[in-house]
Amino acid sequence: MNPIRDRIVETLSDPKYRPLDAAALASKLKLSKKERKRFREALNELVESGQLRQGKKGRLRLRTAAGFITGVVRRISSGAAFVIPHEAPPELQKKDIYVAARDLKDAQTGDEVMVRLISRRRSGGQRCGRIEKVLERASNVFVGTYFESQGQGWVRIDGTAFDRPVFVGDAGAKGARPDDKVVLEMLRFPSASRTGEGVLTEVLGPRGDPGVDTMSVVHALGLPYQFSEAALDAARHQAELFDDSDLQDRLDLRRETIVTIDPETARDFDDAISLRRDRRGHWQLGVHIADVAHFVPPGSVLDQEARERGTSVYLPRHVIPMLPEVISNGLASLQEGKVRYTKSVFIEFDPQGRPLGAELANSVIRVSKRFSYEQVMPVIRRPESARGKVPAAVVKLLQRMHTLAMLLRKNRFADGALEMNIPEVEIDFDEDGSVTGAHERFHDESHEIIEEFMLAANIAVAGILNAREIPCLRRIHGHPDELRLKSFQEFCAGLGYHLDNYRSRAALQKVIRDAAGQPEERAINFALLRSMKQAEYSPELTGHFALNEEHYCHFTSPIRRYPDLTIHRIVGELAAGRKVRRQHPGELLELGRHCSLTERRAEKAERELKRIKLLRYMENRIGEEFDALITGVESFGMFCQGLKIPVEGMVHISSLSDDFFSFDPTGRTLTGQRTKKQYRLGDLVRVLVVSVDLDRRQLDLRVAPDASVPDRLSRTAAAVSSRQRGAAKRTSRKHKGRTASRTASRKKKTRTPKRRKSR
């Protein structure tokens, strides 16, 4: 018998128990320090045996009783919802369970619930259910617009999760004025039969102010944006302790030629490169990463803060760092001419760019030269132009880096790595934070140099940890779902592209390559992206599908990613020859879930704020037309994203009044029964701005009156013809490229490979 195990089960069995994470549960049980280890062991045993399960926030509960199913709610516009089960029982023909509005109680999108299956079924056999209990709320804190009615205060919650305003009591509470953006905590969630009730906790400011937009997203997603005074004091203390003359038994690389290459606007610099070539033609690549672990001891207040945040958050015109700026922009920033502590991985490659081995070191460096991406390729292509401005040793280093990186890149794709050509768009702002336009982010070979070396470092470190059987947080990317890939194959066939083996990375990459520069390029890349799983953090040996790597981890950005910091601690112990503390797989699994969640939250925050900015830009453009790309097709309409301004809106099927359109889920198309007019994922279409609802984050579009869409037959024929012309051009370019390469070789010049966008 394990008394702590029994206490855990007894506590979680209490009807009044509300899900807690491991740390909170340990506090509730009032465990001593000696008991904490046995508590962790008991917890891992219960999770592994299936008696306990952890929610998406790491909160613990007993497995659901027989007859019930647990899952996550996704509400729809009608007021009903679907519950996506955590584990679908065999009797469910379809995984999702339909819940009518009257059976939903007060459950909201994202809530974890317990649902009971009922006898009623929908057409098609889908099972229906009734919510019995909300196990865990997605959030209790919301942001909305304050208004008053009949002397009482109300808040209209942002987004579409709540179709009615929430009552907040006395008018002017917290000094709020009509049309202010406010934060509220929900006291009673709304249901089909009652109004929601909340309390104002903060007034953000007038609706429409750019700074208020940012704080609205921060509060709505629960982003921690202020450091505790204890964390700031700890960071200042680390600055006081740092002595750049104390090498601390580190490998001294201060005389090495080392460079950093970062965006022009970068504030922190966490990776640097050195590279030599020996007489055998072997490459000795050094990837040097800021030693954040030196300044953030495990279990310290800085560590707790970084773990809670999980990642830095990069919002338009604003960054919420994972660590105080004293560390992220100071002590651990590899600034030119400054002595800095680093963790280094040295990788040896043969003359063909194949890895032969790797070593780790705790090191100290002094960056010789800092470059922005824009500065690198002119130096590589025209070294004479840099004479007198850039040291000769640095010019030689850049040229070597370019040669090796292109070799690594060629090998990587030859080995089956995937690369999707999806353009990255950056929004342009004026000084007040208002949108003025947008541009496609330009990636040239300077970006690819750093990308290849960072990938090589991550792969090398993961390989070393695996060889020594050290449990760690890996970066995994699971194999795509079989049905999704099959649907992608059928989608490609509809566009005239043959995908003979949808399980093969090489076949998938061939389709992407064949579509490059063709009208269907975006459609195919979008469709393949939709077929892929999301990458995540986990100790599991799943591998990385897109990279075609069995072992992969994140090592290169400990300033902004907590998983990298955990890898650095292991690397530091190995490099120093010390015994590594091995974390239990259960601990790593919980940490991986948390870091994956914070990463997705950060990505969502960036998307959400960009969407707000773009919608505000569109508010003054009602009635205007623009060219857009169809990014999603559903039975109720299609989503379209502008080409020049990357805002996404909805063309509802009811606005396609010239015909009756039917939906094909396999081909992701809407087809007119009379005209045979067709709208397909990835098509270009001219749309008209009808309305903007910024609070609900909605842009209503219609197909422009004069817009035309070719029928399927003519479009497919045109696509095939276009592809044939493109293939002929590529063959011609390939032949010319070989001739040019031979000529360049005779002249002893470096050939510049064709640029491909990074994934």
Sequence-distant (≥ 6) Cβ neighbours of residue 376 within 8 angstroms: 261, 398, 446, 449
598 band by pLDDT with thresholds 50, 70 and 90: very high
pTM of the model: 0.82
Strands 355-366 and 369-372: unpaired
Percent of the chain with pLDDT over 90: 56
Does residue 596 or residue 751 have the better pLDDT? Answer: 596
pLDDT of residue 146: 95
Q: Of 11, 136, 137, whose CA–CA distance to 62 is shortest? A: 11
Q: Rounded to an integer, what distance in angstroms lies between the CA atom of residue 744 and that of residue 732?
A: 18
Q: Quick check: 485 pLDDT over 60?
A: yes
- Report residue 554's pLDDT band, with 50, 70 and 90 as the boundaries: very high
Q: What is the CATH number of domain 619-709?
A: 2.40.50.140
Residues in CB range of 503: below 8 A, 6 or more apart: 485
Residue 626 falls in which region: left (phi positive, over 0), alpha (psi -120 to 50) or beta: beta
172 vs 400, higher pLDDT: 400
**Pairwise pLDDT comparison (78 vs 747), residue with the higher score:** 78
Query: Would strands 180-188 and 141-149 be described as parallel, antiparallel, or unpaired?
Result: antiparallel
pLDDT of residue 64: 61
> Rounded to whole angstroms, how far apart are CA atoms 381 and 402?
10
What's the average model confidence in pLDDT over 368-385? Answer: 94
Indicate the domain borders of the chain: 3-62, 68-136, 141-207, 229-454+567-575, 619-709
The pLDDT assigned to 268 comes to 76
d(CA 86, CA 641): 32
CATH architecture assigned to 3-62: Orthogonal Bundle (1.10)
Q: Label residue 392 exposed, middle or buried (CB < 10 Å: 0-12, 13-18, 19+).
A: exposed
pLDDT at 231: 96
Distance from C-alpha of 28 to C-alpha of 226, rounded to nearest angstrom: 27
Inform me whether the pLDDT recorded for 262 exceeds 50: yes
Long-range pairs of 165-169 with CB within 8 A, sequence gap ≥ 24: 166/142, 166/190, 166/195, 166/196, 166/197, 166/198, 167/195, 167/196, 167/197, 167/198, 168/197, 168/198, 168/199, 168/200, 169/199
DSSP secondary structure code for residue 148 in this structure: E
3-62 with 141-207: one CATH topology? no
The more confidently predicted of residues 193 and 540 is 540
- Tokens 């919980």 -> residue: 590
Per this entry, what is the length of the chain? 759
- Contact present, 527 and 685 (Cβ < 8 Å): no
pLDDT over 70 (residue 714): no
DSSP state of 391: -
Position 323 confidence tier, pLDDT thresholds 50, 70, 90: very high
User: What value does the mean pLDDT take over residues 433-444?
Assistant: 81
- The matching CATH number, chosen from 3.40.640.10, 2.40.50.140, 2.60.40.10, 1.10.10.10, for 68-136 is 2.40.50.140
**Spatial distance between the Cα atoms of 660 and 534, rounded to a whole number of angstroms:** 36
Range in 99-103, 125-129, 350-354, 623-627 the model is least confident about: 125-129
Mean pLDDT along residues 182-193 = 91
pLDDT interval class at 712 (50, 70, 90): very low
pLDDT surpasses 70 at 745: no
Is the pLDDT reported for residue 126 higher than 90?
A: no
Nearest to 608 by CA among 219, 265, 291: 219
Are 277 and 402 contacting, i.e. CB atoms less than 8 angstroms apart?
A: no
CA–CA distance, 359 with 231 (Å, rounded to integer): 34
| Distances in whole angstroms, Cα of residue 65 to Cα of each of 26, 87, 187 | 24, 13, 28
CA distance 584 to 40: 9
pLDDT (tens digit per residue) in 66-99: 567 888 999 887 889 999 887 766 666 557 899 9
d(CA 336, CA 258): 9
pLDDT of residue 213: 92
Angle, helices 3-13 vs 33-49, to 10°: value is 70
| Higher per-residue pLDDT: 522 or 393 | 393
pLDDT at 127: 86
CATH of domain 141-207: 2.40.50.690
Q: Which long-range contacts (CB under 8 A, 24 or more apart) does 26-29 make?
A: 29/4
Q: Does the structure show a pLDDT above 60 at 737?
A: no
- Digit-coded pLDDT (tens) for 676-710: 899 988 788 999 999 999 999 999 999 998 766 54
417-429 pLDDT per residue, tens:
998 877 777 888 8
Q: Give 712 or 633, the one with higher predicted confidence.
A: 633
Q: Which helix (H) or strand (E) holds 272?
A: strand 271-277
pLDDT of residue 130: 92
Q: Which residue has the higher pLDDT, 301 or 710?
A: 301
The confidence score (pLDDT) of residue 292 equals: 97
State residue 678 phi and psi, 5-degree precision.
-135, 135
- Which regions of 104-160 does DSSP assign to beta strands (E)? 112-121, 127-136, 141-149, 152-157
String of DSSP letters for 415-481? TT--------EEEEE-TTS-EEEEEEPP--HHHHHHHHHHHHHHHHHHHHHHHTT----EEEBPPPP
**Is the pLDDT at 742 greater than 50, yes or no?**
no
Backbone angles phi, psi at 170, to 5 degrees: -55, 135
Q: What is the pLDDT of residue 186?
A: 94
- Predicted pLDDT at 564: 98
User: In the predicted model, is pLDDT for residue 734 greater than 50?
Assistant: no
Task: Say what the pLDDT of residue 88 is.
Answer: 63
Percent of the residues in the chain that have a pLDDT greater than 70, as a whole number: 90
pLDDT digits over 137-177, tens only? 889 999 999 999 988 999 999 988 888 999 998 767 788 99
One-letter amino acid identity for 405? A
What pLDDT shows up at residue 748? 35
> pLDDT: is 346 or 28 the higher one?
346
CB 110 within 8 A of CB 139: yes
User: pLDDT tens across 637-648, in order?
Assistant: 999 999 888 899
